[in-house]
Structure 1
Amino acid sequence: MSASREDVWLALSELWLDNQLDEYSHRHIARVLLASGLSVEELQSIYLEEVAPLLWGNHWTTAGVWDGFDAQWLSAGCRRFQQRRGSRWHRWRCRLLRRLMTYAAEPEWQQVLLRMAELRG
């Protein structure tokens, strides 16, 4: 089974939900990312330049989304940022805001990377 880019966006979006992820969640996300066939470097770019710019505000609101983002809304937003990845302005903005965009998601991302390494064996 091959995961599409939309599947990758949806899996990564779980890192910005307003709840604590468990071991099962980390493994599920890792499996989806591995099924995409994309390199870790490309997945890192998707995480930082397509998903984070769209979802980072969820961690900064008092009552953020906790049960899952709407898949159509997520795909449309991530697609917009995917198209901007070639822009110097977009890359600079993502670098400048990286800590703000990933402060709560980064520990979860690191857990997913560990699970990916374990699953690859």
Structure 2
Amino acid sequence: MHHEQEIEDLVVKRGALWLALSPLWLERDPRESEYARMIREVDASELTLQQLEWIYRLEMSPVMARYQLSMAGEWRAFDETVLLTRLVRHNRKLAGWRKATWSLFSGLTTMMSRPRFNELAMRVMVARGEHPPRR
């Protein structure tokens, strides 16, 4: 498969979901409308919560955690094209040992956004009529 095609496929497959989930890394908490968009995209992509967790931890967090530190509360300086480019670049390299390494370090890269992701996961379960696990 050609390089361009591969990138295009990745953006088609994940782009909308990545952009929908990106507010998890803002300095402020996501708005209701942002959570609603996340849930719509998760449902559209028909992912299990386990797959969603994987996307959050491995596909997005290593890239987004770097953003999080440099970002103001809004996406003012935030360019979707730049973000997608970085995510695609990261994900094309995400094979074999790199995946294992990111799995190990994902606790660090997800630390700040984890409570929001957990909130999203709960909302997805509720929207799907599943019962969240008791804490």
TM over 0.5: yes
Match of 1:28 among 8, 23, 37: 37
2:52 maps to a residue whose letter is: L
Which residue number corresponds to residue 85 of structure 2? 76
Matched position secondary structure for 1:97? helix
Match of 1:93 among 70, 91, 101: 101
Which residue number corresponds to residue 65 of structure 1? 72
- For structure 1, the 5+ residue unaligned runs are none
TM-score normalised according to structure 1 size: 0.81
Which residue number corresponds to residue 14 of structure 2? 5
Match of 1:54 among 46, 63, 69: 63
Q: CA deviation at 1:4?
A: 4.4
Matched position secondary structure for 1:109? helix
Choose 1 or 2 for highest CA Rg: 2
Q: 1:39-71 CA deviation, whole Å, 9 max, x = no partner?
A: 32222221111111111023334xx23323321
Say whether 1:14 aligns with 2:23: yes
Larger deviation: 65-74 or 100-109? Answer: 65-74
Bigger relative contact order, structure 1 or 2, given CA contacts below 8 A and separation 6+?
Answer: 1
Q: 1:5-54 CA deviation, whole Å, 9 max, x = no partner?
A: 10111012111112122444323312221112223222222111111111
Which residue number corresponds to residue 120 of structure 2? 112
- Is contact 1:54-1:77 (8 Å) kept? yes
Instruction: Give the Cα separation in 1 of the matches to 2:33 and 2:122.
Output: 13
Larger deviation: 30-39 or 44-53? Answer: 30-39
- For structure 2, the 5+ residue unaligned runs are 1-11, 130-135
Cα RMSD after superposing both structures: 2.0
